Amino acid sequence: IKLFYELLVECPEWFATGNPLDKKDIIAKDIRILPPVCDKEGRPLYIVKVGNMDANTMDLVKDVVMVDELFIESLLASNPKIRNGLSVILDISNFPWSIIKWLTPNNIKTALRRIHTMPIKEYKYHVVNNSLPIHVAVNIIWPFLPQYVKDSVSIFYIIFHFNDRNSLYKHIDPDVLPPEYGGTHVMDYKKYHDVMLDKYEQIEQSFKMNRGMYLQEITKFT
C-alpha cells in the first residue's frame, strides 16, 4: 500500500481516475482482452495484443496504461481467482515500430514500479509469436537500462514460447485458448469488453475513493 501511494503522488498520470467509458474507442481496438478463463494453476488470463497498439494514434499513459488500469480494476472487483495471480499472454506478433519510442528507460522503470503496486500475488508472462522489431528493440535498449531496472525485470516469471504452442499448452489448456493460439475456445472480445464497461460506475467510484480523494487531500498541503 505504501508503494502504491508513493507512486501515486510521484506519477499521478499513471493512475486512472476517470470514467472507463472515456476509453471505449481504445478498448474496441482489442489492445487488451480479459476473457473469463484461467490457466492450469487457476490464474485469470489476460491477453496483451502488442500488434494492435499504435503510438501514432495512442498515448502510452493516457490510453494504454489507462486501459490496463480499467481491466485490472474490473478483475480485482469481481474475480476472487485473482488471488492466485495473473497469467498474461504477451502476443508480440505484428509488433509496430512506432511503439519503440515508448520503450524509454524512464517509462520501463515507471511501468515496473506500477506493476509492483498492484495487489496481485504473482504474474506469469507467456510471450507468444515472433517479431523482429521487438528483438531489435530489446538489443538496443537493454544495455542502457540501469541495473536495478534489469533486476526488476528478472523477478517476473517470463516464458518465451514464441511459436511453440506445445510449450504454451503446458501452462494453459488449449480448451481455453482462442484458435489464433492453437486453441479451441471461440472468444467474443466485444462481449468481454462490455462486461467490464458495464461496471463503469463501480470502477469510477473505486478510482475516486482510492486515488482521487487522496490526491485532493495531498494538494491541500502543497
In the CATH scheme, what is the homologous superfamily, with its name and number, of domain 2-194? CRAL-TRIO lipid binding domain (3.40.525.10)
The stretch 203-209 carries a mean pLDDT of 90
Report the Cα 190 to chain-centroid distance in Å. 18
Domain ranges (residues) in the chain? 2-194
Non-local CB neighbours of 210 within 8 Å, separated by 6+ positions: none
Q: How confident is the model at residue 35, as a pLDDT? A: 97
pLDDT averaged over the chain? 90
Q: How confident is the model at residue 121, as a pLDDT? A: 86
Q: How confident is the model at residue 141, as a pLDDT? A: 74
Q: How confident is the model at residue 86, as a pLDDT? A: 96
For residue 144, what pLDDT band results from cuts at 50, 70 and 90?
Answer: confident
* HSE of 51, CA atoms in CB hemisphere, 13 A: 11
The stretch 5-19 carries a mean pLDDT of 91
Q: How confident is the model at residue 49, as a pLDDT? A: 98
For residue 133, what pLDDT band results from cuts at 50, 70 and 90?
Answer: confident
189: pLDDT strictly greater than 80: yes
CB 91 within 8 A of CB 53: no
The string of pLDDT tens digits covering residues 63-87 is: 999 999 999 999 998 899 998 899 9
- Three-class DSSP category at 11: coil
Comparing 11-20, 147-156, 181-190, the range with the smallest average pLDDT is: 147-156
AA letter at 79: N
Q: How confident is the model at residue 187, as a pLDDT? A: 96
Alpha-carbon span 10 to 3, nearest angstrom = 10
For residue 152, what pLDDT band results from cuts at 50, 70 and 90?
Answer: low
222: pLDDT strictly greater than 60: no
Alpha-carbon span 63 to 199, nearest angstrom = 19
Q: How confident is the model at residue 200, as a pLDDT? A: 93
Considering only residues 157 and 35, tell me which one the structure prediction assigns the higher pLDDT.
35
The string of pLDDT tens digits covering residues 19-69 is: 889 999 999 999 999 999 999 999 999 999 999 999 999 999 999 999 999
- A 10 A CB-CB count for 22 gives 14
145: pLDDT strictly greater than 80: no
DSSP state of 30: T
The stretch 107-127 carries a mean pLDDT of 91
